[in-house]
Amino acid sequence: MYKAIILATALFSTQLLAKDFQENQIDNGKVNANGKPVTLLGNGVKVGQQAPDFKVVDGSFVPVTLTSFKDKAVLISVVPSLDTGICSLQTKHFNEKVAGEFSDVVMLTISADLPFAQKRFCQTEGIDKVQTLSDSVWHDFGKNYGLYIKDMGLLSRAVFVLNKEHKVVYKQLVENLATEPNYEQTLEALKAL
């Protein structure tokens, strides 16, 4: 019953919040789903700027912010939904092939999935090096990074690398929601830290 109430609240709040978001002027027109452009809402970010803080929740609904990782480099892998094939591959890739090589970098995967779904996914798939965080409560990450997809309630696929001062040193906005990010470019950005 508790899960049903949270799900209903999250879905209702998604519709209300979308009305308050502005269109992302930096990245609009750059992402498509099934060949059709999607409208991104929120404030876009650029390489070189200070990364905006955000407030998301972990698997126990404990709030987590970017400032929780003070003085640490951070990779943020953003996926629409962990329960889809490409999002699953992306998260597994960073968990299995990247996190071990860059143990001094905090690895995050952020989606609009409910924390229950994220926790189940991590247990089933053995995700143990990447921390999954949910933007389903406040949609703060989607708004602050301009990745909230209008009329979908999901986040657009992207990858960010932040240095220890949390400046954006790399940004990859994946053009087609149905494709994986370019992992080689991400690795080069991590090696340059």
Instruction: Tell me how crowded residue 145 is: count the other CB atoms within 10 A of its CB.
Output: 29
Among 169, 181, 193, which Cα is nearest to 50's?
A: 169
At position 22, the amino acid (one-letter code) is Q
Active site residue 87: yes
Of the residues 56, 87, 149, 162, only one is catalytic, namely 87
Asked whether 148 and 63 are in contact (CB, 8 A), the reply is no
Q: Cα dihedral angle (135, 102, 165, 147), rounded to 10 degrees?
A: -30
CA atoms of 187 and 35, how far apart (whole Å): 28
Positive/negative CA dihedral, 136, 141, 143, 145? negative
Among 137, 143, 149, which Cα is nearest to 21's?
A: 143
Tokens of 46: 């650029």
CA atoms of 110 and 79, how far apart (whole Å): 6
Asked whether 185 and 62 are in contact (CB, 8 A), the reply is no
Which residues are catalytically annotated?
Answer: 87
